[in-house]
Amino acid sequence: MAELNIEPHAPSFQQEMKQLAEDLLQKIEHGDLGKVVGVVNSINEARDRTLYKEIGKLTRGLHESIKNIKTGDELSEESGMGQASDKLSYVIEMTDKAANRTMDLAEEGMPLNQENLDGSIELQEQWQKFLRKELKPNEFRDLTKKVDAYFSQTQANSKKIGSQLSDILMAQDFQDLTGQVIQRVTKLVAEVESRLVDLVAMAGEVDRITGITHTETHQTETPQEDSNNVLAEGPQIDTSIEGVVEGQDDVDDLLSSLGF
Amino acid sequence: MKILVVDDFSTMRRIVKNLLRDLGFTNTQEADDGLTALPMLQSGDFDFLVTDWNMPGMTGLDLLKHVRADDKLKTLPVLMVTAEAKRDQIVAAAQAGVNGYVVKPFTAAVLKEKIDKIFERVDG
């Protein structure tokens, strides 16, 4: 990232101004009015030059930091911000896909597991009967067949469940990819913020050089929090903040204090 | 028991539907925000509403207010399942007439407990 250097009152500019001012004074003292106008023009030019140079630097800096979000393999000429939101959409898409894949696999595995459980319960009942010597010979023959079938069934189901579990593990690979994308976007936001801070500093210097003063613009009234219109804010990342509940227990306590 | 599950994220709808199915509630339908949910509620004989808060179009809180303002729907039990975790918000939901409030992330046990509690009160 190219360092942005904002020095509107760099020595060269100040020296130039000083020299021109001395020159101007001299010309006035000599009553050389034609030349006085010329010097005044030079002063204006020097001021404009500095101004344009600094604004140019700043624009370049902003552009650079926005361009930095682009990675090498991207062909699109879209703006960095547009790409940042594309990248975040990609994160949503990836997490959505992974969540659905995981749920698909879990839903496929659940009935297999249930089948094993049901089979085991049924066999155990008959096995207990056998131990109590309540099983007739033909029932015992039936039981041996069932045991045999149960072995095959549980082996097949366990294999399937095993591969589903390993696919569930693999479906978590999104974390790496989305993490990297989010890190990039976070970096862009930080860069843009620092450029904006530079922009504010620059604007201050521009005002100083040009002598522009601003009448203090009144802050637009902060919208009054309407108790009838409490807005959604999304997840609270920091639960230590005043007024944020720490979990379901806090919610339950609060609601019970309200008579729930 | 016919239940409407409202959330803008399909994965969360799926999780809630799965948990409801485990609890024995198999007759569920889905909507992705208040605007699609409200006409479904008005025209379908739902017995229970599970809704998120933060959704585009119409939020869950506004949906709750519409439900409570509707003569036909005003007694419908409503459970809010949401990431909104500020005291003011929970109080606002309570004032709007919510029957239960579950903060995300939540467990199957918490969801079951709240649903049981709501129906104990409604039936009792």
Per residue in A70-121, pLDDT tens? 444 444 445 667 777 888 888 999 999 999 999 999 999 999 999 999 999 9
CA–CA–CA angle A143, A144, A145 (5° rounding): 90
In whole angstroms, give the CA distance from residue A89 to residue A23.
Answer: 61
Number of neighbouring beta carbons within 10 Å of residue B95 = 13
Return the top range by mean pLDDT from A41-45, A177-181, A217-221, B50-54. Answer: B50-54
Give burial (CB, 10 Å; 0-12/13-18/19+) of B31.
buried
Q: What is the pLDDT of residue A80?
A: 66
The amino acid occupying position B31 is A
Helix, strand, or coil (residue A67): helix
Contact B88 A243 (CB under 8 A): yes
Percent of chain A with pLDDT over 90: 32
Contact A255 B101 (CB under 8 A): yes
**A260 falls in which pLDDT band (50, 70, 90)?**
confident
Q: Tell me which of B55, B86, B110, B112 to substitute to probe the interface with A (most A C-beta atoms closer than 10 Å).
A: B86
Tokens of A6: 């904002």
Q: Minimum mean pLDDT among A60-64, A156-160, B83-87, B92-96: which range?
A: A60-64
Chain B CB contacts of A254 below 8 Å: 87, 90-91
In whole angstroms, give the CA distance from residue A81 to residue A67.
Answer: 9
**Nearest one of A88, A180, A152, A247 to B106, comparing CA atoms:** A247
- Closest B-chain CA to A250: B87
Contact A251 B102 (CB under 8 A): yes
Which residue in A96, A233, A255 is closest to B84 by CB distance?
A: A233
Q: What is the average pLDDT score of chain A?
A: 81
Q: What is the pLDDT of residue A205?
A: 67
The alpha helices in A68-79, defined as continuous H runs, are none
Chain A CB contacts of B101 below 8 Å: 251, 255
**A4 falls in which pLDDT band (50, 70, 90)?**
very low
Q: What is the pLDDT of residue A77?
A: 47
In whole angstroms, give the CA distance from residue A38 to residue A20.
Answer: 10
Strand ranges, E, within B7-113: 28-31, 48-51, 78-82, 100-103
Q: Is the separation of the CB atoms in A130 and A138 below 8 Å?
A: no
Q: What is the pLDDT of residue A152?
A: 96
**A130 falls in which pLDDT band (50, 70, 90)?**
very high
In whole angstroms, give the CA distance from residue A28 to residue A13.
Answer: 22
Q: Minimum mean pLDDT among A7-16, A129-138, A187-196: which range?
A: A7-16
Q: What is the pLDDT of residue A206?
A: 65
Contact A232 B61 (CB under 8 A): yes
* R_g (Cα) of chain B, nearest Å: 13
Return the residue matching tokens 């198999």: B26
Q: Is the separation of the CB atoms in A126 and A139 below 8 Å?
A: yes
Q: Say if residue B11's pLDDT is above 80.
A: yes
Task: Quote the DSSP letter at residue A172.
Answer: G
Give the distance from residue B114's alpha carbon to the nearest chain A alpha carbon, in angstroms: 10
Tokens of A218: 């009144």
- Between B13 and A61, the higher pLDDT residue: B13
Q: What is the pLDDT of residue A76?
A: 47
Q: What is the pLDDT of residue A69?
A: 45
Q: What is the pLDDT of residue A217?
A: 63
pTM of the model: 0.66
Q: Minimum mean pLDDT among A152-156, A182-186, A190-194: which range?
A: A190-194
Cα dihedral sign, A148-A149-A153-A156:
positive
In which element (H, E) is residue A180 found? helix A174-210
Q: Following CA atoms A147, A151, A157, A159 in sequence, which dihedral angle do they give, to the nearest 10 degrees?
A: 170
The upper half-sphere exposure of residue A180, i.e. CA atoms within 13 Å in the direction of its Cβ, equals 6
Cα dihedral sign, A70-A74-A79-A83:
negative
Q: Is the separation of the CB atoms in B110 and B79 below 8 Å?
A: no
Give the distance from residue B74's alpha carbon to the nearest chain A alpha carbon, in angstroms: 18
Contact B90 A248 (CB under 8 A): no
**A230 falls in which pLDDT band (50, 70, 90)?**
confident
Helix, strand, or coil (residue A150): helix
**A228 falls in which pLDDT band (50, 70, 90)?**
low
**B46 falls in which pLDDT band (50, 70, 90)?**
very high
